[in-house]
Amino acid sequence: MNNRRRILLKSGLAVSALGTAALLVPRAVLAAWPEKAFHAKKMPEALQALAGTDSASESGDIKIKAPDIAENGAVVPITVSTGMDDVESISIVAVNNPFPLIASFNLGEGALGFVSTRIKMGKSGDVVAVVKAGGKLYSAKKGVKVTIGGCGG
């Protein structure tokens, strides 16, 4: 009887070990994805989680190209460009979205301060471009009016 108990315990341990291993694998693969920043519901929280600070000074050297009025919030073209030196990353934030941080682009070797993409916007609000250059955050914003929301249906 005692013997059986040992076996049960052992097999139980083996199963749980397997379980945790299976859970850990996909996490390790995507370790670089800043989950906390993307799950933040407010912009300062998102910046804090992404860059370790939420203070971004406004800069006139960041240009956002976006429509004044977006007819379809599901597809809002956004282009961010900056003439700054040592740009490390460019992040795009839609202030009024349920999860404001939309995308973060880490520029690699030789990359210029330019990204263009299309985003979803739940309702009208500011689109903020946050540029990390020389270890500091700079931002610029542009208001976009959305006629039909793109988050939800």
Partner 1 sequence: MAKKAIKIRAKLKGDVVTVKALMTHPMETGARKDKKTGKLIPAHFIQEVVCESGGKTRMTAYWSGGVSKNPYLSFKFKGGQKGDDLTLSWVDNKGKKASETVKIG
Residues that bind partner 1 (CB under 8 A): 26, 29-30, 32-34, 38, 74-77, 79, 94, 97-99, 101-112, 114-120, 150-153
Q: Of the candidates 55, 46, 50, which has an alpha carbon nearest to the alpha carbon of residue 33? A: 50
> Which residue's structure tokens are 């689109």?
127
Q: Which is nearer to partner 1, 11 or 106 (CB)?
A: 106
Q: What one-character-per-residue DSSP string does 35-58 give? A: HHHHH-SSHHHHHHHHHS----EE
Using the minimum distance from each CB to partner 1, give the nearer residue, 121 or 140.
Answer: 121
Interatomic CA distance for residues 57 and 90, integer angstroms: 14
Q: CA-to-CA distance for 33 and 92, rounded, in angstroms?
A: 15
Closest contact distance (angstroms) between CB of 125 and partner 1 is: 13
Look up residue 36 and give its DSSP letter.
H
Name the CA radius of gyration of the chain, rounded: 22
**Which CB, 115 or 131, lies closer to partner 1?**
115
End-to-end CA separation in angstroms for the chain: 60
Q: How far is the CB of 115 from partner 1 (least distance, A)?
A: 5
Q: What minimum distance in Å lies between the beta carbon of 134 and partner 1? A: 18
Measured from the CB atom, the residue of 53 and 106 that comes closer to partner 1 is 106
For the bound state, the minimum distance from the C-beta of residue 60 to partner 1, rounded and expressed in Å, comes to 21
CB of 100 to partner 1, least distance (A): 8
Q: Judged by CB, which is closer to partner 1: 11, or 147?
A: 147
10 Å Cβ neighbour count for 49?
Answer: 17
